Structure 1
Amino acid sequence: MRRLRMGMIGGGAGAFIGPVHRIAAELDREIELVAGVFSSDAARSADAAVDYRIAPERAYASLDSMFSQEAARSDGIDFVSIVSPNHHHVQAAQVALAAGLPVFVEKPLTTSLEEAKMLRDLVLSSGLPLGVAYTYSGYPLVREARARILAGELGDIRKVVVEYPQGWLAGDALGKQAEWRVDPARAGLGGCIADIGVHAFHLAEFVTGLRVTRLLADLGTVVPGRLLDDDCSILLRFENGARGVLLASQIETGELNGLRIRVYGDKGGLVWKQEEPNTLTISRNDGSSTSLRAGTSVLSPDAVARTRTPGGHPEGYLEAFANLYRDFAAMLRGESAPLLPDINEGVRGMMFIQTAVTASRENLGWVTVEH
């Protein structure tokens, strides 16, 4: 079975996430990067092709040229991965779908809910798959947490606390990665809420299997002169009545990537931390607790299948990312991939972002999150 051929949009010099996508996509040798529009500048796109070790003639300066020339090849691309800043997502996805190509896209899906819904209509009418890079849903122990909650191990869920602290934007936004994230023209209507808050939101719903129905948002801009939020505090209500708290910040000095989720039910609770991803702790009402470790046979079949090394050999972010690409490859081959975040989860994320931004800006208090 040949490897699927990927074309990349974005990911040129100075990009963080482009190389991550390439490594993750190729990890299981089901996919290979063969072409791309790595930059709107032809010279920079050509330079990126050298870095990615792909044929120079397959580094393109525009979407139209890549899609037309790749379609004329017997070994043309099978799908595209969109890793450019947020404002490019919708146009790139539109052109790819029109060319008959499935899409894997970075989060957030688009820069606005209106765009997201329009893109959903295109995806549904095309019948083509679209996956969204909610990376943390690819961790084996995140999937284990989900499986145990859905099996009733924690009982009725009462409280969910999800935190995502970073400190890298506590000062001036310097460098390519920082500059576009604080620019409304490129990032969209949300800053921190769209960059990492939406990850926390998706993780909370993914792990619990519950939808958020209402929220109360306080989004702040702490660094003087900044135009988008950089610190977010949000209260949540879930469909079963459970209460929740979502904290996301990029101005917490000294923090790196401290995503953490805690879920509490009437029978027990669990904790998972992204910076210690190979341990899932489950506590019970009798005072006992269990530490589940990645790579062990006591885990659910999906968690076991998403682990590549024996217990004690840590896996992390790249492997979790690769699990999403593995799911996406399975979908392209006509197999089932029910846990891969899709277009509906992408729209859901934009619904959360827009609802939180509007509610905070207009001081609306508790508001409903559409389903």
Structure 2
Amino acid sequence: MKRKLRMGMVGGGIGAFIGAVHRIAAAMDGEIELVCGAFSSDPAKSKESGIMLGLPPERVYPSWWDMIEQEKQLPENVRMDFISIVTPNHVHFAPAKAALENGFHVVLDKPMTFTLAEAKELKQVVEQSGKLFCLTHTYTGYPMLKEARQVVKEGRLGKIRKVYVEYPQGWLSTLAEKTDNKQASWRTDPSRSGIAGAMGDIGTHAFNMAEYVTGAKVTELCADLNIVVEGRQLDDDGMVMLRFDNGASGMLFATQVAAGEENNVKIRVYGEKGGLEWRQEDANSLILKWPDQPAQILRTGAGYLSSYAAHNTRTPPGHPEGYLEAFANLYRNFAQSVVAMEKGATPSKESLDFPGAEDGVRGMAFVENVVRSGKSAEKWVAFEV
């Protein structure tokens, strides 16, 4: 009889936003169950969170280290199979490394780590452990972004020339970190978020989308970073010019001070034969543009889409599949790959299509190169990994 994969969680306790999103996404397809957790650095809050989630008291731990140490002592048919880490950035590396070294697979919220050096080390640990690692760059879980990747890969747009990717938000248009806004307080704090603000938080998503859809790698960049809201410690706005290894050029902008904007992440790619456009506000549609015929609108759930789009679609055409479903696709593909691997089988190519350690390293390299360029008078810098 098929069983569910058993998940342990680090972070995501009472009052946390992203922890609940991860739990919903993990549970959506009935392939994963939450069995234990260390939900807060405060043991009392962790216990309270575990009770709220209906977990047995003995499977709610005061720290992530206690969870890893005690879970590995449990019988194989009881202990967790993998750990999901949903903490602020500065608490990504240590629990992920410890989990991998103690025989557990890992799902980690982005960005991968606090620094590029940590990301490189963690990638080595992943490779040495033989365990699976998933980084939750949510937007690549959308069926129509997967279709966009296939359109480019099949050469339907011809040689790619231009890439434009953007992520405008407006929730930090004021000094929200000086209020009781928990999300604002840690995401704008260099000691917990790292050396970048908007570029580390949402710029990494845009960067990941650009490389995922085009299949090309950034080789050089030129960044202009700004702190718009007076009193803020990290960038809340920025633009980055990009050069890719296939000869294409592009532009990325990420801002959290575009008052009135929500999460309208968008990508446009242009080749010698045509272009494509996708935006989250109409996530079920992928627009293909041609110089000699009307634009085409491809829709989620349609029979003409690739196996990658079909594999990540749950409902018939016309039923919106959004952020939670895209998030769930990452968990489902990860779970299917873990199950196949544990059985000694090869996961399907569609199941293996989720962000991993290499994406994490390049994301942290993006952050550090952008900050380096932003501080440079010469501006254009080689993309160093």
Q: What percentage of aligned pairs have identical amino acids?
A: 52
Q: Which residue of 134, 137, 140 corresponds with 2:137?
A: 134
Q: Which residue of 83, 99, 102 corresponds with 1:80?
A: 83
Whether the aligned pair in 1 keeps the contact of 2:175 and 2:232 (CA below 8 Å) is: no
Q: Which residue of 111, 118, 123 corresponds with 1:120?
A: 123
What is the Cα deviation at residue 121 of structure 1?
A: 1.6
1:100-148: CA deviations, max 9, x gaps? 1111101100111111111112112222211100111100000000001
Letter in 1 for 2:146: R
What is the Cα deviation at residue 285 of structure 1?
A: 1.1
1:51 paired residue number: 52
Whether the aligned pair in 2 keeps the contact of 1:131 and 1:340 (CA below 8 Å) is: yes
Q: Which residue of 244, 254, 257 corresponds with 2:260?
A: 254
1:61 equivalent in alignment to 2:67: no
1:229 paired residue number: 235
- Which sections of structure 2, spanning at least 5 residues, go unmatched? 342-346
1:109-188 to 2 correspondences below 5 Å:
109-173=112-176, 174=179, 175-188=181-194
> How many residues of Structure 1 are paired with residues of Structure 2 in the alignment?
371
- The CA distance in 2 between the partners of 1:84 and 1:278, in whole Å, is 30
- The CA distance in 1 between the partners of 2:362 and 2:301, in whole Å, is 32
What is the Cα deviation at residue 71 of structure 1?
A: 2.0
1:294 equivalent in alignment to 2:295: no
- The CA distance in 2 between the partners of 1:50 and 1:256, in whole Å, is 33
1:362 equivalent in alignment to 2:376: yes
Letter in 1 for 2:284: N
Letter in 2 for 1:204: A
- The CA distance in 2 between the partners of 1:188 and 1:152, in whole Å, is 38
1:238-289: CA deviations, max 9, x gaps? 1111110001000000000010000111111111001210011101111411
Whether the aligned pair in 2 keeps the contact of 1:271 and 1:281 (CA below 8 Å) is: yes
1:322 equivalent in alignment to 2:328: yes
What is the Cα deviation at residue 23 of structure 1?
A: 0.6
Indicate the larger mover: 222-231 or 119-128.
Answer: 119-128
- The CA distance in 2 between the partners of 1:112 and 1:362, in whole Å, is 19
- The CA distance in 2 between the partners of 1:287 and 1:251, in whole Å, is 38
- The CA distance in 1 between the partners of 2:378 and 2:205, in whole Å, is 23
- The CA distance in 2 between the partners of 1:68 and 1:191, in whole Å, is 34
Q: Which residue of 358, 361, 374 corresponds with 1:347?
A: 361
Superposed CA RMSD in Å reads 1.1
- The CA distance in 1 between the partners of 2:65 and 2:17, in whole Å, is 25
Indicate the larger mover: 58-67 or 240-249.
Answer: 58-67
- The CA distance in 1 between the partners of 2:125 and 2:166, in whole Å, is 34
1:90 paired residue number: 93
- Which sections of structure 1, spanning at least 5 residues, go unmatched? none
- The CA distance in 2 between the partners of 1:287 and 1:367, in whole Å, is 39
Q: Give the alignment's TM-score, normalised by structure 2.
A: 0.94
**Residue 275 of structure 1: SS of its match in structure 2?**
helix
- The CA distance in 2 between the partners of 1:67 and 1:252, in whole Å, is 42
Whether the aligned pair in 1 keeps the contact of 2:7 and 2:81 (CA below 8 Å) is: yes
- The CA distance in 1 between the partners of 2:123 and 2:304, in whole Å, is 38
2:288 paired residue number: 282
**Residue 21 of structure 2: SS of its match in structure 1?**
helix
Whether the aligned pair in 2 keeps the contact of 1:63 and 1:95 (CA below 8 Å) is: no
1:107 paired residue number: 110
Whether the aligned pair in 1 keeps the contact of 2:175 and 2:231 (CA below 8 Å) is: no
Q: Which residue of 244, 249, 258 corresponds with 1:243?
A: 249
What is the Cα deviation at residue 180 of structure 1?
A: 0.1
**Residue 272 of structure 1: SS of its match in structure 2?**
strand
Whether the aligned pair in 2 keeps the contact of 1:159 and 1:264 (CA below 8 Å) is: yes
1:200-220: CA deviations, max 9, x gaps? 000000001111111000011
- The CA distance in 2 between the partners of 1:225 and 1:361, in whole Å, is 19
- The CA distance in 1 between the partners of 2:33 and 2:111, in whole Å, is 24
Letter in 2 for 1:12: G
Whether the aligned pair in 2 keeps the contact of 1:137 and 1:203 (CA below 8 Å) is: yes
**Residue 92 of structure 2: SS of its match in structure 1?**
helix
- The CA distance in 1 between the partners of 2:249 and 2:376, in whole Å, is 23
- The CA distance in 2 between the partners of 1:213 and 1:268, in whole Å, is 24
1:12-27 to 2 correspondences below 5 Å:
12-27=13-28
Q: Give the alignment's TM-score, normalised by structure 1.
A: 0.98
Letter in 1 for 2:163: V
1:191 paired residue number: 197
What is the Cα deviation at residue 97 of structure 1?
A: 1.6
